[in-house]
A and B are shown apart, each in its own frame.
Chain A
Amino acid sequence: MAYEFDWTVLITYKQLLIDGFMMTLKLSIIGIFFSFLIGSLIGLLRVSGNFFLSLAGTYYVEFFRNIPLIVQMFFIYFSFTLTDAFPFLESFGNSIGVENHNEFFSALIALITYTSTYIAEAVRAGIQSLPKGQMEAAKTIGMNYFQSMYYVVFPQAIKMVWGPITSQFLNLIKNSSLAMTIGVAELTFQTQEIDSLTFRGFEAATAVTILYLVLTLGTAYFMSIINKYALVKTQSEVGGTR
């Protein structure tokens, strides 16, 4: 009995795939944005030189990094009803076309906390890899801590760790698949869905794999565009005779 491939199911059930893709997209975009924001903040805390701020940052990173993502998602989803505690989430969810608010936001929050720890470590590494003289020079011309960070240190640090940060964003996109375990109808969920409806799991999985590749390659490309046009240049990129 040969397995007959039936690729037409993908067309019949294309709406499921589209819905799943959109859901993954929503999780990814919002997740990437906030994990970058929060991660950078925590990273800055860690290098701030203030003992207690740095300790707080360390607590955050160690706590949310060592607990598996799926455990975090389950914990938030099953222990709390987010829309009761934070009613604005319901209207926000509606505005982006999400119906199962509790599931979506539980997964989203866990994704953000988990990924932000890796971003924080990358930002920390980037800042610490800069020569101390940069900060000193900025101080010498009278800049305060925030100005030094904003104009001199942070731009250079981000540029240096843009590669690792891109990896973490790609990881977030892949990790969004865990949301299916608490009922979010994202892309991986749809594989199982189509399979249970048509027994054509292989075709579904192929389609979903391609869609994930599109998402990850697209993100990597987008990040390299940002690198080229928005980030500061390094010595090697500037060229010149030296």
Chain B
Amino acid sequence: MNEKITLYFAKHKVLFILLNFTYIIIIAKTFQMLAYPDADFGSALTYDRIHFMLFGLEDELGGLVLTFYLAFVAIILSFIGGSILGIARWSGVKIFSIPATMFIELFRALPHIMVIFWVFFALPVFFGVFFGIKVTSSALTSAIIAFTLFESAHIAEIVRAGLNSIPKGQFEAAKTLGMNSWQVFIHIILPQAYRRMIPSILSQFVSLFKDTSLVYVIGVVEFFRAATIINNRIYMSFELLSFVAIIYFLCAFTLSKIAGQLEKKVEKQLNS
């Protein structure tokens, strides 16, 4: 019986999406009626407010757009940083691997929100004390730095795992062709390792996207903070936060589905 249903819906994908859609609307509406019967989405979600939450203020980067911006910048920087750290740790060369390991383990153990606070409050102090430079950083810059710090640590571990997953035979085969260690690394090992890492890195990106909501604590006006700012004025948290939750869900869900498709493509390549 179950096999038949599963097969049926696998074939009729549009019907499946419609079924899900219907279910979700029924569940959502039931929840709203039971939990918060007086919900008034219309007055909470005016055009201006939605515009603010999605785009922020005029001539300033904010809202959901800022969320994406922050996520993209952070992932690119942490990809670079994480690669360096991951390779350093994997290399086994003590001068590189010991500091890399210390960095990675430290930033993996710390709660993200602490790192964000730390960077925002402590960095100007540090620069002032140790370098005598007066540094004022904007909340956004602090956020980017903080994200880069802890995401690099996570990506470093992904890189290390990817490098470790290459069978020893690859090294040996390349060496017998007469390549030196450097060439083996660049031409044979790294390309294969990075292909294997793609799914993990993509899922780390989705994770990062969700984590952008944390910069609330230092006042960066991205999507979540924007919503709380409005909530502090009109006190309609059920409606506003439902909206926030739905938008986050749609974005993260879509991103992870895209990641899944890319992963399938990569798998095909790897196995062909």
Contacts and interface: CB of A to CB of B under 8 A. Distances in A.
Interface of A: 1-3, 49-51, 55, 59, 62-63, 65-72, 74-75, 78-80, 174-178, 180-181, 188, 191-192, 195, 201-202, 205, 208-209, 212-213, 216
Nearest to B245: A67
Contact of A75 (B111, B122, B237): B237
Contacts of B238: 75, 78-79
A174 B241 contact: no
Contact of B109 (A2, A3, A70, A213): A213
Interface string B238-266: 10011011001100110010000000000
A212 B224 contact: no
Contacts of B244: 71, 75
A66 B248 contact: yes
B35 to A, nearest CB: 7
Given A178-B214, A202-B122, A205-B122, A78 B237 contact: yes
A138 to B, nearest CB: 19
Contact of B228 (A68, A74, A201): A74
B111 A188 contact: yes
Contacts of A68: 210-211, 213-214, 224, 248
A67 B224 CA distance: 11
B241 A79 contact: yes
Q: How big is the B interface, by class? A: 35 or more
Contacts of B228: 74
Name the residue among B109, B128, B217 with the largest chain A CB count within 10 angstroms: B109
Interface string B208-221: 00110110110000
Given A55-B20, A68-B211, A177-B112, 10 more contacts: A62-B249, A67-B252, A70-B224, A78-B241, A174-B111, A180-B113, A191-B114, A201-B125, A205-B114, A209-B109
B18 to A, nearest CB: 14
A188 to B, nearest CB: 5
Contacts of B2: 49-51
Contacts of A51: 2, 5-6, 9
Contact of A192 (B110, B117, B128): B117
A181 B242 contact: no
Contacts of B242: 75
A68 to B, nearest CB: 4
Given A78-B237, A80-B35, A70 B213 contact: yes
B5 to A, nearest CB: 4
A208 B114 contact: yes
Most chain B CB neighbours (cut-off 10 Å) among A59, A67, A176? A67
A75 B241 contact: yes
7 contacts: A1-B128, A51-B9, A75-B238, A80-B35, A191-B114, A212-B110, A212-B114
User: Can you list the 4 inter-chain pairs with the closest CB atoms, starting with the nearest?
Assistant: A78-B237, A177-B111, A66-B252, A79-B238
Contacts of A74: 228, 237, 241
A137 B23 CA distance: 37
Interface string B113-128: 1100110011001001
B204 interface: no
A71 B114 contact: no
Nearest to A173: B111
Nearest to A63: B249
Nearest to B112: A174
Contacts of A191: 114, 117
A70 B214 contact: yes
Select the residue from B6, B23, B216, B241 with max chain A CB neighbours within 10 A: B241
Given A51-B5, A79-B241, A71 B111 contact: no
B25 interface: no
A66 B109 contact: no
A201 B124 CA distance: 13
Contacts of B249: 62-63, 66-67
Contacts of B216: 70, 181
A116 to B, nearest CB: 16
Given A79-B238, A177-B114, A71 B231 contact: no
B72 interface: no
